[in-house]
């Protein structure tokens, strides 16, 4: 949705081909023939030659299988497709036409590495020698040296992306919070994520009961006529045993989170939410001194998965939504009872296409969550839900909550917490601006999706959170990390 149309098409074509072969039981046999099938040649479609295009397809196939794009795997769900990344310009600093080729040569004198020389018409920067210190740009009186920041590097909120001597981007695993914001910012489609497609298809083909858990952000992504009931019907046609609305997990998380907040408030302690896995990763990797303040309540995804597994221990649970970091919650955080797999919208649609199943319009009459659980997809939705639950249970307190919307606000709130200057009692952190509805793998533009979601939610049964939870056996499983 947010990348170039050609990048999206290539990605979706690979996912579909892999899904189809996996369903047909022919992936091992025919995997190596896919690059030539998709890039028959002799004329290249989008790169310099068909051989490079085929190598990019090969690396994308590996990601679709849940493997690293290259042979070496550092475990990160977010991966650089090195062959595609090689086309990105190496130099970060370039001399523009503003250069007057002045006699002072302030840029040359400022460079300590001998990377700048005087040319006939303007100065020249040797990318092999440049250390990107930026001193030349600061020294130029004409502002003639521009800093070109790669889209992926610019999008990363934690400065986890650098590049090697060949100009290929490198993701620092110790810094990366798995938010996936870099993926759809790269115009070359050179960053992707591992998928669970093959694992999910194998589960669907087995004798296991496989449940789909659809994120609240899903409503509105595909238009006003595609409801949660549309998803339920389509996913059952694909082969899922059933589908559960993860907004229900929002209600579950709300109850547990409210109990934690009330206890912390009574003790004069600060707390942060734990729903957004990127926010949790941000705290643990960049603000470890605040890790003990993370709520022990599990995410709505995990809550629904635990509920299902409490009834059927051998079932297989699959989360569907716009979030890349949810893959990290499963792979990296390894929380007991959590989802077995996570699929983005493009990945589940590839599976649906392989089974010739489409989303069809349906009545908006399927609901397992309160409207507050449904609004977990919005920035501030967790706070609204927790405060509402306190109101419903006559436990209201004068708590102040910092609703950190986006990575910049999250980092600011955590820096204030670290410095002991945070005025609020609690922090709700959402790394994606707007909340989950602004997730990197969304299908529709955030403002459009939110507008349609609000319309669909307005039609929902306005049951209270307490009333909704009475329909479920909350005593059969824990909502806390173990």
Residue that the structure tokens 């497609």 belong to: 197
The reply to whether 298 and 430 lie within a common domain is yes
Q: Is 317 helix (H, G, I), strand (E, B) or coil?
A: strand
Q: State if pTM tops 0.75.
A: yes
The verdict on residue 482 lying in a domain is: no
The string of pLDDT tens digits covering residues 77-91 is 999 999 998 777 666
Q: What are phi and psi of 170, to 5 degrees?
A: -130, 130
The reply to whether 317 and 458 lie within a common domain is yes
The reply to whether 315 and 247 lie within a common domain is yes
The reply to whether 393 and 357 lie within a common domain is yes
The reply to whether 155 and 250 lie within a common domain is no
Alpha carbons 321 and 117: distance in angstroms, whole number = 51
Q: Containing domain of residue 48, as a range?
A: 5-83+151-195
The verdict on residue 36 lying in a domain is: yes
- Identify the burial level of 366 via C-beta atoms within 10 angstroms of its C-beta, where 0-12 means exposed, 13-18 middle and 19 or more buried: middle
The string of pLDDT tens digits covering residues 127-183 is 778 888 889 999 999 999 998 878 898 899 999 998 887 778 999 999 999 999 999
The reply to whether 265 and 156 lie within a common domain is no
Last residue of a domain, one of 179, 195, 211: 195
Which pair of structure tokens corresponds to residue 14? 């690979």
Q: Does residue 281 register a pLDDT over 50?
A: yes
What is the per-residue pLDDT for 89?
A: 64
The reply to whether 170 and 141 lie within a common domain is no
The verdict on residue 88 lying in a domain is: no
Last residue of a domain, one of 131, 147, 163: 147
The verdict on residue 332 lying in a domain is: yes
The verdict on residue 481 lying in a domain is: no
User: Considering all CA atoms of the chain, what is the largest pairwise distance in Å, rounded to the nearest integer?
Assistant: 80
**pLDDT band per the 50, 70, 90 thresholds, residue 2:** very low
Q: Nearest to residue 70, comparing CAs of 198, 196, 192, 197?
A: 192
Structural domain total, the chain: 3
The verdict on residue 31 lying in a domain is: yes
Residue 52's CATH number: 3.30.70.20
The reply to whether 322 and 464 lie within a common domain is yes
The reply to whether 247 and 390 lie within a common domain is yes
Count CB atoms within 10 A of the CB of residue 116.
24
The reply to whether 313 and 393 lie within a common domain is yes
436, 212, 189, 35 alpha-carbon torsion, rounded to 10°:
180
The reply to whether 219 and 327 lie within a common domain is yes
The reply to whether 209 and 190 lie within a common domain is no
Kindly tell me the sign of the dihedral angle through the C-alpha atoms of 437, 442, 448, 451.
negative
The string of pLDDT tens digits covering residues 14-55 is 999 999 999 999 999 999 999 999 999 898 888 889 999 999
């Amino acid at each position: 949705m947010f990348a170039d149309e050609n990048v999206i098409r290539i990605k979706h074509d690979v996912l579909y081909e892999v899904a189809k072969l996996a369903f047909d039981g022919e992936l091992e046999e025919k995997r190596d023939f896919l690059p030539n099938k998709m890039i028959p040649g002799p004329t290249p479609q989008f790169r310099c030659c068909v051989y490079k295009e085929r190598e990019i397809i090969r690396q994308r196939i590996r990601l679709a299988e849940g493997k690293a794009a290259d042979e070496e795997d550092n475990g990160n769900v977010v991966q650089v497709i090195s062959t595609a990344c090689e086309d990105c310009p190496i130099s970060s600093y370039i001399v523009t036409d503003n250069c007057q080729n002045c006699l002072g040569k302030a840029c040359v004198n400022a460079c300590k590495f001998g990377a700048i020389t005087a040319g006939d018409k303007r100065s020249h920067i040797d990318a092999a020698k440049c250390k990107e210190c930026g001193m030349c740009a600061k020294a130029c009186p004409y502002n003639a040296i521009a800093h070109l920041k790669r889209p992926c590097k610019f999008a990363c909120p934690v400065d986890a992306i650098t590049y090697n001597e060949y100009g290929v981007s490198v993701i620092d695993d110790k810094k990366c919070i798995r938010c996936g914001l870099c993926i759809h910012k790269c115009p070359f489609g050179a960053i992707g994520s591992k998928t669970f497609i093959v694992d999910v298809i194998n589960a669907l083909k087995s004798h296991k009961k496989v449940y789909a858990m659809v994120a609240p952000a899903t409503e509105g992504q595909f238009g006003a006529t595609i409801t949660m009931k549309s998803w339920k019907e389509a996913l059952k046609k694909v082969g899922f045993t059933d589908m559960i609305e993860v907004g229900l997990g929002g209600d579950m998380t709300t109850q547990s989170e409210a109990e934690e907040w009330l206890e912390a408030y009574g003790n004069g302690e600060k707390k942060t939410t734990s729903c957004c896995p990127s926010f949790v990763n941000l705290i643990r990797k960049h603000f470890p001194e605040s890790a003990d303040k993370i709520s022990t309540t599990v995410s709505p995804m995990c809550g629904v998965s635990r509920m299902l597994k409490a009834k059927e221990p051998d079932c297989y649970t699959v989360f569907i939504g716009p979030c890349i970091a949810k893959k990290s919650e499963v792979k990296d955080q390894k929380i007991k009872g959590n989802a077995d797999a996570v699929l983005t919208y493009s990945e589940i649609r590839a599976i649906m296409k392989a089974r010739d199943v489409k989303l069809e319009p349906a009545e908006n009459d399927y609901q397992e969550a309160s409207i507050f659980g449904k609004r977990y997809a919005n920035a501030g939705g967790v706070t609204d839900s927790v405060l509402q639950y306190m109101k419903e249970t006559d436990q209201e307190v004068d708590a102040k909550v910092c609703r950190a919307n986006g990575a910049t606000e999250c980092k600011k709130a955590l820096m204030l917490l670290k410095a002991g200057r945070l005025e609020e009692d609690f922090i709700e952190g959402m790394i994606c601006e707007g909340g989950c509805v602004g997730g990197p793998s969304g299908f529709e533009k955030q403002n459009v999706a939110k507008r349609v979601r609000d319309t669909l939610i307005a039609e929902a049964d306005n049951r209270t959170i307490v009333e909704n939870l009475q329909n479920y056996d909350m005593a059969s499983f824990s909502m806390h990390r173990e």
